[in-house]
Amino acid sequence: MWQRIHALMIKEFLALLHDPRARVVIVVPPIIQLIVFSFAATFDLNHVPMAVYDRDGGPEARALVARFTGSEHFELVARVHRQEEIARLIDDREALMVLSIGPRFSHDLRSADGAGVQLILDGRNSNTAAIALGYARSIVGGFGEDWLEAHGGPTPPSVLVTRAWFNPNLVSRWFIVPGIVGLLVLVVVMVVTSMSVAREREQGTFDQLLVTPMHPMEILVGKAMPGLVIGLLEATAIIAVAVWGFDIPLRGHLATLYVGLGLFLLSAVGVGLMISALSATLQQAVLGSFLFLVPAVILSGFATPIANMPPLVQDLTLINPMRYFMVVLRGVFLEGTPFHLLIDQFWPMAVIGVATLALAGWLFRHRMY
């Protein structure tokens, strides 16, 4: 039996390596996506274009402006001299934010009520505006505390001191790059396995394979192994780049990570072979795999929390293996989560993998063209 499975595995690897399109799919997209996502996909904002409307002109106002211009998050692109200029700067996207300082700012700082400043933001991209507003609030709050301390004023009734666990500097790359491991592995494995059976159906050789002495389970294992091996190698390479190339901390055990990876690969290969068994042509297989990939990534928690989704959509994520692997990846990388706390993520991936592989094996024998 194992000789037949080994021969089928060799045939599958040769078919992949001899197909120029398959070689490109395996090598090029993961490299491009790893570079693009790691450098371009970030929740951090740097060099936000801002303008200043300073009607006070005093040393205190200049000190506040200097805090903004000295921050890596903001870049001064214009100084406003008339109120009417603000609308044009925002409308033309020349500035994302305008800091407006009133004419009595320095005087009001010494009063009991304190001084206020106005922030005018471009809200067309609400997420970007909210992040910029958070940075600005931090700068203004720090300025107020330092001014009170320097001038002997009353201390604020309470001061918020924050400390972020697991990601002290709140670097968004630490959140994104571990998720890229699951994203890229899913893409490569799905495309490779979904083309496996469909390619042979299109060439008319799959029915010949079914009439050989090989059992459908042997065919299933022989078709699944190349995807598992390629996925394992791809994941190992991406993990190495994440740790040594991007300095992402790996606080957990590699054994725990690779158990989750193995179960995720099992479920991804199962879904890919099921799609391939349902497809009559290679084009249908590729289309089917991408129809699965897009919802799987969106409903995985890769970019947006599952808890923020509607209840019905949250229920749909329960059949998405990538949902569980995202928890494993970020738990092992950032939190150092031990094996026993991830069992609730392991067994659903195992169930999905066994169910989809069993259905793919049944389709091999019963879905004829």
DSSP character string of 12-75: HHHHHHH-HHHHHHHHHHHHHHHHHHHHH--S---SEEEEEEESS-SHHHHHHHHHHHTSTTEE
At 192 the three-state DSSP class reads helix
The residue with greater pLDDT, 115 or 270, is 270
Neighbouring CB atoms inside 10 A of 216's CB total 16
Identify the helix (H) or strand (E) that includes residue 79.
strand 74-79
Q: Which two three-digit tokens encode residue 104?
A: 């009595």
Beta-strand relationship, 97-101 and 117-121: antiparallel
Q: Quote the pTM value.
A: 0.75
Task: Give me the chain's average pLDDT, please.
Answer: 81
Cα distance between residue 332 and residue 342, in whole Å: 9
- Inform me whether the pLDDT recorded for 368 exceeds 60: no
- Per residue in 38-47, pLDDT tens? 665 666 678 8
Average pLDDT rounded to a whole number, residues 239-260:
92
Task: Determine contact, residues 126/134, Cβ cutoff 8 Å.
Answer: no
pLDDT at 138: 87
Query: Which pLDDT score, from 0 to 100, does residue 158 have?
Result: 47
* 155 pLDDT more than 60: no
Residues 6+ apart with CB under 8 A from 343: none
- What is the rounded CA–CA span in Å between residue 281 and residue 290? 15
317 with 300: CB under 8 angstroms?
yes
Segments in 161-281 forming alpha helices (H): 172-203, 206-210, 216-240, 254-278
The pLDDT tens digits of the residues spanning 274-331 come to 888 887 777 788 788 888 988 898 899 887 788 878 889 899 999 999 999 999 999 9
- The strand order across the sheet containing 74-79 reads 74-79, 48-54, 97-101, 117-121
Give CA–CA dist 122/90, Å, rounded. 6
In this structure, are residues 218 and 259 in contact, taking their beta carbons and an 8 Å threshold? no
**The predicted structure's pLDDT at residue 92:** 86
pLDDT at position 369 is: 46
Task: Report the alpha-carbon distance of residue 93 to residue 122 in Å, rounded.
Answer: 8
- Residue 361's pLDDT is 79
CATH number belonging to domain 48-151? 3.40.1710.10
Give the start-end residues of each E strand in 85-198. 97-101, 117-121
Nearest Cα to Cα of residue 187 among 299, 262, 278, 265: 265
Structure-block tokens of residue 272:
């890919």
Q: What is the mean pLDDT of residues 147-169?
A: 67
pLDDT of residue 329: 94
CATH code 3.40.1710.10 region(s) in the chain: 48-151
DSSP code of residue 165: S
State the pLDDT at residue 16: 63
Decide if 137 contacts 71 (C-beta within 8 A): no
